[in-house]
Amino acid sequence: PETPQNPKSSKRPENPEAARRRRKLVELGRPWLLLAPALAVLAALLLWPLIQVGKLSLQDYEVKFGGGVGTFTGLDHYADLLTSSLLWQTVLPNTVFFAVACVGLTVALGTAVALLLNRLGATWRLICSVAVLAAWAMPAVTGTYVWIWLFQPQDGLVSQLAGAVGLIDPETTNWFTERLPFYAIATLNVVHHGFPFVAITVFAGLLTIPKELYEAGMLDGANAWQRFWKITVPTIKPVFLVVTILSTIWDFKVFTQIFVMPGGNGSNPDVYNLGVFSYIEAFAKNDYGTGAAAAVLLTLLLLAITIVYIRTLFRQGEEEL
């Protein structure tokens, strides 16, 4: 009698090349499959609103009872925006110089605090860390009102102290009416709120540096400044890159600290930045198209910074490999 054949044994073997391609597709698709839920949420929360803002920037939009009506205008709002003297003489300079000052001071102060934490004992390190994190945990609105109170004309603490030593006349000095003192106060506010992130992040990086490197530097006669630039900075360079670029992204889109301060809500155009300008155009002047165009411009600036951030991280990873 004939022996029945096993169906599995009669199956033709799979082509090795096809099997390799299938495994490669599975390996490439598995991460995206795992990321799909999060990407779907991000698309719903971020991508769809961005599309709507871009669409709105191409229209003259009029709000009516029960909805709104948009008339397509093409790139007219972008043309008006890019030819506006207010944009080039006030809004963009305020945005860029304010962000650069905030980033530089935030990184410098955060690094100094991180170096201090690295030298303290366990008890004082805990106390200082809690105090630093308290500044970070304070809501931006609350922190801004504290700085407004400090610089309040006439009866503010800083105004009284400056008047006591003869620097100003508290009765006639208003810190919030001119661009330079206004943004000086805003810079103090943003740096105070942002340096804890840099301090804790850089401190975590400092803990990864072997002490033997510093001991070798001291044996070679390097002072503290030389050890910082020759050992600390090169060793934790990726950490400095991360905190610098993230701080740049955050400081370019500052809104609350400017809008809440006196004059920042639209009554003083000299202190507009891109975020406030976009809000004022859209919701105070009901020019939703121009406001949306300004928001798109800000998004493009942040996107460019993000691309630089990602390219820098990839380049840093390739150098380490």
> How many domains does the structure of the chain reveal?
1
Query: Please, which residues have CB within 8 angstroms of residue 103's CB and are 6 or more apart in sequence?
Result: 244, 247, 248, 251
Average pLDDT over residues 30-59: 86
Q: Are strands 59-64 and 67-72 parallel, antiparallel or unpaired?
A: antiparallel
Report the C-alpha gap between 263 and 182 in whole angstroms: 9
pLDDT greater than 60 at residue 10:
no
Q: No. of H helices and E strands in the chain?
A: 17, 2
For residue 122, the model assigns a pLDDT of: 87
Q: What is the CATH number of the domain that holds 316?
A: 1.10.3720.10
- Per-residue model confidence as pLDDT tens digits over 265-306: 888 899 999 999 999 988 888 888 889 999 999 888 888 888
For residue 241, the model assigns a pLDDT of: 87
Does residue 240 contact residue 233 with C-beta atoms inside 8 Å?
Answer: yes
- Per-residue model confidence as pLDDT tens digits over 69-118: 778 888 888 998 899 899 999 999 999 999 999 999 999 999 999 999 99
- Per-residue model confidence as pLDDT tens digits over 155-165: 888 888 988 88
Which structural domain range is residue 183 located in?
A: 80-320
5, part of any domain: no
> Closest Cα to residue 274, out of 261, 260, 291, 250?
291
pLDDT greater than 80 at residue 1:
no
54, part of any domain: no
pTM of the model: 0.81
109, part of any domain: yes
Structure tokens at 1: 């009698």
Average pLDDT over residues 147-155: 89
31, part of any domain: no
> Closest Cα to residue 68, out of 246, 288, 227?
288
108, part of any domain: yes
Q: What is the DSSP letter of 2?
A: P
Average pLDDT over residues 54-79: 83
